[in-house]
Structure 1
Amino acid sequence: MVVLSAEQVHGWDNFTMDKESIASIDLMERASLRCVEWIESSGLLNHQFAVYCGKGNNGGDGLAIGRLLHEKGCQVEIYILEFGHLGTHDFQHNLQRLHTLPVNIHFLQPGTKLPDIPDETIVVDALLGTGINRAADGLMAAIIQHINASKNIVISIDLPSGMFCDLATIPNACINATVTLSFQCYKLAFLVAENASFFGRLFILDIGLADEYLSSITPEYELMDIVIASGIIRPRPPFAHKGNFGHALLFAGSEGKMGAAILAAKACLRTGAALLTCMVPQDGLAIIQTALPESMAIVASKTDASLPLPSLDMYTIIGAGPGIGIGESSAKHLHEILKASTIPMVIDADALNILSKNAEWLNLLQPFSILTPHPKEFDRIAGLHDSDFARIATARRLAKKYQLIIILKGHRTLIAMPGGRAWFNTSGNASMAKGGSGDVLTGMITGLLSRGYAPEQAALLGVYLHGLAGELASDIHGVESVLASDIVENIGKAFQALENK
């Protein structure tokens, strides 16, 4: 599924109307009918409804929804924000249709007392939609605050009123929706954490827009889903041997942080690497060899950073960062690896924190290296950001500038590609919000690269598999009780789920 901008969504409507010779009022009716069908299927028709409308096409949707709910036998009150002009053509058309029915229509003007909202009434928010270009203010902002103060169930149509499709909404007034019914595709606003409290539960309703439009545009973003992930999977050939699946080097661990090294190492092997060598401090050598006998190990000196770096020639891929700390020795080893490596690397955790203190080292990374920061790690490298939207834009810019793949971790993880394309991941859940989950992802992507996947494939597949393994782990242990090691133990089942798709 694609993620479109407000302009592209508007273009899709127009394309469909031209192709099908359908009037805009009829497309509005189609969208409104889908909303009412959702309300009916959710068992909500036994409620009263208060429909709040602006005078744009989103308000036209609201009027049509109010009429259709009335025809279903619901008690409906319509509230229209009055600010001195007639509204759009389709809004006026739907208003005329309502005037023929015994439905109460109230016009809300500046200076008038806003109506009380009875406790059992469901609010339908159709004040503002995708096309807004400025923050809600005046009476509009007052109505938004009034609805939010009611604590009633709120169903927002298209977008919660006050929310921008492609820009940050905070700190502006915005409806706190219980449910948002949007149309045909995701918008960027639904994929950022800062908006989650505004749109509530999200449902994307198919209103039958013409699919041909999508081949005529370049989507802003795409969604990484199970269909795409299963298409990337490559079966292991039956006559394969361990020489076919690479030898990964993982620079990980330090005193008190060997758990990170173990998680990343296990994930690397579970994801398909044939051979793995862990570069660990002397006092971590026995730990890694005991916890993971399948891995080899070499020593990264903790006390003598002047010791020569082992040759990197034998390794297919290098992952660096989980648990290494940010001390002088770790920084020196990382710098030497960056200078010596001639292949893309996976950079995470403390390796990212070291890079943030040595920004010029970014130029040492080979093209298509993969960085996997969470938002705070990303800000340490790229500077503070005041919104998720700004952070996403910077990640895409830096990915192009340095020819890197940047995986900006979150509930909907962003994967920004060197060529400018960007993806949001759809797998995973809140069970994974625990220490060690990121170390597992580092190991998984390192394993996929060792296995022979191209960097773009490894990034997309690794992020999706990671989330899917987390979902499978939560099915077993519950959302609260999943450990990072449980994610590792479900990597095999995640592969099987994709292979059986």
Structure 2
Amino acid sequence: MKILSKDQIYEGDKLTTERQNISSTDLMERAGTQIFNWLHTRMQGAQVPIHVFCGIGNNGGDGLVVARHLIIHGYHVKTYVVNCSDKRSKDFLINYDRIKNVTKDWPTLLKCKEDFPSIASQDIIVDAIFGIGLNRPVDNWVKSLFMYFRNTKAYTLSIDIPSGLNTERSPKDEDGVVWASYTLSFASPKLVFFLPETAKYTTQWEILDIGLDTKFMTDVSTQAELVGKYDVLPMYKPRGTFSHKGLFGHALIIGGSYGKIGALILASKAVLSSGAGLVTVFIPKCGYVPLQSSFPEAMVITDIENEFISNITFNITPAVIGVGIGLGVHPKTIRAFETFLKQNQTPLVIDADGINILSKNKSLLKLVPSASVLTPHPKELERLIGSWEDDFDKIDKVKTFSKTYNLIIVIKGANSMTVFQDKIYINSTGNPGLSTAGSGDVLTGIITGLISQGYESLSATIFGVYLHGKSADIAVQKYGYESLIASHVIEYLGNAYIDLFKEPEVSKMSEGESTKKESKK
């Protein structure tokens, strides 16, 4: 699913009115009616007090449309205009006149804290104060109104975006943003719904189709996409009847040190469980017996040293190499890694201490083959690109890093992001159960296994992140968040593949239309 920027949303609105020969007021009516339909379907006429707060721009116009339809259908509605400016948009004024034609209870004008209405916790607040066009901090009395919303504990529904939230930067003051229970966003989710600093402003969100021009939506190229089942399904490579292991590649996993051999077991199991034909693991001698006894499907090569890697040599020709898991940073290991990079031409998936070594020796980055994949956790990412001011600055720095070295970066988190050049692919699967030791090792193994099978590196990363999260989503139904461990993710990878071809249940919203904010990795 494409994630439109603010400018692209404006462009889509403009093209829609031109190509469909409708006015902007007609488009606003369509949007507001969709929100009313959403509410009406769920409330079925229930007489819960609904407080609709409208700004004086187009978002406020949407709110007036919603309020008018609620009034016409007999709901208990009170409408307010948040008078934060003397300027009114044309469509706001048109809909202000329309609502006066259906009720004698005209909208109440709010100008200061003394005007705030009484709201009970069981009431509903509809937030239609500011939309995506807001480009300044809100006035203090409006900020007090937002804080009042929170203090009432009433269910708060935001239209398109929580008021006060900017689409292109993190807020400086969290009290200057509405904290929505639910956000109904038009045509496309907003990037801010997926960032750690800003996702908290809406507990859940859903996309409403307001009929933007189909050709525009098809042709527009966005810098961010939300990845769901039907985005990764075309990437899947089916197997033929006469397939054999030689067709699915030989992957090599390099890493391990004394006390960290378990990470290699997890990664190598994930390689084969994701579909690679063969996997060989290069480890220090101390890992030979644990790995051979716990994972007989793997082949093993050992270093001359017992407790760490000192010299990376092997006599196989792998399709891909996953390196860095449990590697450690012994001086001999660092030298061995440097020598390996100078000699290697094979695509890499680099994790953990492999990334830490690169962070301390950035000149080595130019030795990493193009389109290799780096999978850092947040602290490893910070060591790699430096600190950042906010999530937008982090993304910009990752993009710059990716373009500079032509590498694919996974930003791990509640909505893991795959970044390559200027493009961001936001994953839609996963859950808080992935906040457990070894889940990153499994992800590295999955991506490595997919590249081994012939998946192009970017597709393997996007698909691998999706499968990793989906496997956890299936496993958590049995184990729960707290008891989920990394081995369970490997165990349920097959279920994640099978799920690709399952028809969605009619009673559930289609994937990508609605999501719940959760912290995962």
**Distance (whole Å) between structure 1 residues aligned to residue 267 and residue 310 of structure 2:** 25
1:90 aligns with 2:91: yes
Which of residues 260, 264, 267 is equivalent to 2:267? 264
**Distance (whole Å) between structure 2 residues aligned to residue 478 and residue 19 of structure 1:** 50
> What residue identity is the alignment partner of 1:26?
D
Q: In structure 2, what is the equivalent of residue 324 of structure 1?
A: 327
**2:125–2:157 CA contact under 8 A, matched in 1:** yes
Q: In structure 1, what is the equivalent of residue 467 of structure 2?
A: 465
**C-alpha offsets along residues 222-259 of structure 1, whole Å, 9 cap, x if unaligned?**
22221121111112232233222222111122222222
**Distance (whole Å) between structure 2 residues aligned to residue 312 and residue 424 of structure 1:** 38
> What residue identity is the alignment partner of 1:429?
N
Q: In structure 2, what is the equivalent of residue 38 of structure 1?
A: 38
Q: In structure 1, what is the equivalent of residue 356 of structure 2?
A: 353
1:157 aligns with 2:163: no
SS of the equivalent of 1:182 reads strand
Q: In structure 1, what is the equivalent of residue 478 of structure 2?
A: 476
Report 1:71-470 matches (<5 A). Answer: 71-100=72-101, 101-110=103-112, 112-172=114-174, 173-302=176-305, 308-311=311-314, 314-418=317-421, 420-470=422-472
**2:121–2:155 CA contact under 8 A, matched in 1:** no
**Distance (whole Å) between structure 1 residues aligned to residue 185 and residue 113 of structure 2:** 32
C-alpha deviation, 1:89, in angstroms: 0.6
In the superposition, the TM-score normalised over structure 1's length comes to 0.95
Q: Decide which moves more: 45-54 or 89-98.
A: 45-54
**Distance (whole Å) between structure 1 residues aligned to residue 247 and residue 113 of structure 2:** 75
Q: Decide which moves more: 101-110 or 22-31.
A: 101-110
1:24 aligns with 2:28: no
**2:304–2:311 CA contact under 8 A, matched in 1:** no
Q: In structure 1, what is the equivalent of residue 13 of structure 2?
A: 13
Residue 336 to residue 114, structure 1, CA distance change in 2 (3 Å):
same
**Distance (whole Å) between structure 2 residues aligned to residue 454 and residue 277 of structure 1:** 21
**Distance (whole Å) between structure 1 residues aligned to residue 379 and residue 308 of structure 2:** 28
Q: In structure 1, what is the equivalent of residue 59 of structure 2?
A: 58
C-alpha deviation, 1:304, in angstroms: 9.0
**1:436–1:484 CA contact under 8 A, matched in 2:** yes
**Distance (whole Å) between structure 2 residues aligned to residue 97 and residue 312 of structure 1:** 78
SS of the equivalent of 2:43 reads coil
Q: Percent identity?
A: 36
Residue 329 to residue 250, structure 1, CA distance change in 2 (3 Å):
same
> What residue identity is the alignment partner of 2:90?
H
Q: Decide which moves more: 232-241 or 121-130.
A: 232-241
C-alpha deviation, 1:413, in angstroms: 1.3
Q: Decide which moves more: 456-465 or 138-147.
A: 138-147
**2:254–2:323 CA contact under 8 A, matched in 1:** yes
RMSD of equivalent CA atoms: 1.9
**Distance (whole Å) between structure 2 residues aligned to residue 394 and residue 130 of structure 1:** 24
Which consecutive residues of structure 1, in runs of 5 or more, have no partner in the other structure?
A: none
C-alpha deviation, 1:323, in angstroms: 1.6
> What residue identity is the alignment partner of 2:136?
R
**2:13–2:212 CA contact under 8 A, matched in 1:** yes
**C-alpha offsets along residues 460-479 of structure 1, whole Å, 9 cap, x if unaligned?**
11111111111111123233
Residue 397 to residue 307, structure 1, CA distance change in 2 (3 Å):
closer
Which consecutive residues of structure 2, in runs of 5 or more, have no partner in the other structure?
A: 504-521
**Distance (whole Å) between structure 2 residues aligned to residue 381 and residue 409 of structure 1:** 14
Residue 233 to residue 56, structure 1, CA distance change in 2 (3 Å):
same
SS of the equivalent of 2:125 reads strand
**C-alpha offsets along residues 120-159 of structure 1, whole Å, 9 cap, x if unaligned?**
2211111101111122233222221222222211111110
Residue 283 to residue 7, structure 1, CA distance change in 2 (3 Å):
same
**1:81–1:108 CA contact under 8 A, matched in 2:** yes
**Distance (whole Å) between structure 2 residues aligned to residue 8 and residue 114 of structure 1:** 35
**Distance (whole Å) between structure 2 residues aligned to residue 306 and residue 428 of structure 1:** 33
In the superposition, the TM-score normalised over structure 2's length comes to 0.92
**1:302–1:329 CA contact under 8 A, matched in 2:** no
**Distance (whole Å) between structure 2 residues aligned to residue 15 and residue 46 of structure 1:** 39
SS of the equivalent of 1:479 reads helix
The alignment covers a number of residue pairs equal to 500
> What residue identity is the alignment partner of 2:4?
L
**2:167–2:191 CA contact under 8 A, matched in 1:** yes
C-alpha deviation, 1:500, in angstroms: 5.4
C-alpha deviation, 1:320, in angstroms: 0.9
SS of the equivalent of 1:77 reads strand
**Distance (whole Å) between structure 2 residues aligned to residue 222 and residue 464 of structure 1:** 13
